Amino acid sequence: MASSSKTLTELIKPAKRLKSLPSPKTLISKPSISCKSSTINKTSDPDHNLSSYQKSMIEINKYTAVSKRNLRICNEKVSKAKAEGMDYVKLEELLVEDTWLEVLPGELQKPYAKILCQFVEREARGSAPIYPPPFFVFNALNSTPFERLKVVILGQDPYHGPGQAMGLAFSVPEGIKVPSSLVNIFKELQQDLGCSIPSHGNLLRWAVQGVLLLNTVLTVRSPQANSHAKKGWELFTDAVIRTISQKKSGVVFLLWGNSAQEKSRLIDEVKHHILKAAHPSGLSAHRGFFGCRHFSQTNQILEGIGISPIDWQL
């Protein structure tokens, strides 16, 4: 996995040179609110000098900085390990967001996780690259602090092509062709909320607002989909889902497709809200994903319980 050995200085060179390893800078979407039906308005809050729109932008910028900091920490750990001649950073060292470490104490030290770590290390030493690069493996958790979590979107395993996977379900870095499933997600957003179709597929802006973009398997061998399934990742991500169910309330779970819907067994439906639809892939989007209106429903649910909605416009 040669791409993970690059230094942070090399990472911030112009994007044209980064097909296999996107720059942390490219992970940040430009702030924009243009959904016709956006529930975030720009009217002044009578109790404060800042408008609700300004406050939402401050929050997005604040947690974007948190995500960038966590990404930088992970990248520095990878670079240090390579400089010391180590093949791979242990998985437990790449989950750096304190709020998740607090609610998942010792999870990555459990016997299954040790076996998983050994498997991923062996794969990293193999002839085929694995995705995403190691500093992106826990990007979903490192970008969405536990206390900020409002919505969960479940995916399966990472994209298995060069430069695609960035540790956020359905998301790809800017400059990478938008996959068909994400194209269909954007189409539904346009129909549902009037959002304009973005020119990129980077969903970090959702993540920093509290949308956990969690794949149930967090690594994959190129170019084989599901090649790291049933190696232990499902036990870890099940623990994440179960922890959310137990320790939070009012979270909206968007379960698209049969694989995601199987995880409903881990969720307390009395405390949380589950919205189900077909998977947005080209094969199934017309069987119930299009027209599901999950994005407007999510915001209606959040506002109904006194939680600020998501600005879905990228």
Q: Which residues contact 110 (CB under 8 A, 6 or more apart)?
A: none
CA-to-CA distance for 208 and 291, rounded, in angstroms?
26
Q: Given a cut of 60, is residue 41 above it in pLDDT?
A: no
Whether 47 sits among the annotated catalytic residues: the reply is: no
Q: Which of 47, 157, 238, 311 is catalytic?
A: 157
Other beta carbons within 10 Å of 141? 26
Contact status, residue 117 vs residue 231, Cβ threshold 8 Å: no
Helix H or strand E encompassing 73? helix 52-83
Task: Pick the more confident residue, 18 or 125.
Answer: 125
- Quote the DSSP letter at residue 197: P
Other beta carbons within 10 Å of 205? 24
Residue 110 is encoded by which pair of tokens? Answer: 């459990």
CA-to-CA distance for 264 and 182, rounded, in angstroms?
23
What is the band of 43 on the pLDDT scale with cuts at 50, 70, 90? very low
The reported pLDDT for the residue numbered 307 is: 96
Average pLDDT for residues 254-273, to the nearest whole number? 98
Other beta carbons within 10 Å of 118? 15
Distances from the Cα of 92 to the Cα of 60, 77, 105, 179, 296, angstroms: 27, 12, 11, 30, 37
Q: What angle do CA 44, 45, 49 make, to 5 degrees?
A: 80
Q: Given a cut of 60, is residue 22 above it in pLDDT?
A: no
Helix H or strand E encompassing 276? strand 273-277
Each residue of 247-271: b (16+ CB within 10 Å) or e? ebeebbbbbbbeebbebeebbeeee
Helix H or strand E encompassing 119? helix 111-124
Selected from 3.30.300.20, 3.40.470.10, 3.40.50.1980, 1.10.10.10, the CATH number assigned to the domain covering 54-305 reads 3.40.470.10
So where are the chain's domains?
Answer: 54-305
Give residue-wise pLDDT tens across range 82-96.
Answer: 999 887 899 999 999
As a 3-state breakdown, the chain gives helix, strand, coil percent values, each rounded to 5, of 45, 10, 45
Q: Given a cut of 70, is residue 99 above it in pLDDT?
A: yes
Amino acid, single-letter form, for residue 295: F
What is the band of 110 on the pLDDT scale with cuts at 50, 70, 90? very high
Q: Which of 136, 158, 138, 179 is nearest to 228 (CA)?
A: 158
Mean pLDDT of the chain: 88
Amino acid, single-letter form, for residue 90: K
Q: What angle do CA 28, 252, 254 make, to 5 degrees?
A: 75
Rounded to two decimals, what is the model's pTM? 0.86
Give the end-to-end CA distance of the chain in Å, rounded to a whole number. Answer: 31
Give residue-wise pLDDT tens across range 176-231.
Answer: 999 999 999 999 999 999 999 999 999 999 999 999 999 999 999 999 999 999 99
